[in-house]
Amino acid sequence: CLVQPNLSAADIEAFKAGTVLNMGFAIVAKPTELATINSPISLKGFTAAWDSVKVPEAPAAQ
């Protein structure tokens, strides 16, 4: 999955604060097939949940 939203720092802060952004996603299944999904997206609640997840430590070098 590759996402390139090109958001400004102000957009990101508004997004984290709960502002709903209408985002469009293009899905390419095959070179001849393209589907587009437009959806309202908000990170309200998601950011805090994401930040609370502990990142596992990398295994020690052998």
DSSP 11-60: HHHHHHHT--EEEEEEEEEETTEEEEEEEEE--TTHHHHHHHSPPPPPPP
Say how far apart CA 32 and CA 49 lie, in whole Å.
Answer: 38
- Specify the pLDDT at position 48: 65
Q: Domain coordinates of the chain in residue numbers?
A: 9-45
Assess contact for 39 and 22: CB atoms under 8 A: yes
pTM: 0.37
Which pLDDT band holds residue 49 (cuts at 50, 70, 90)? low
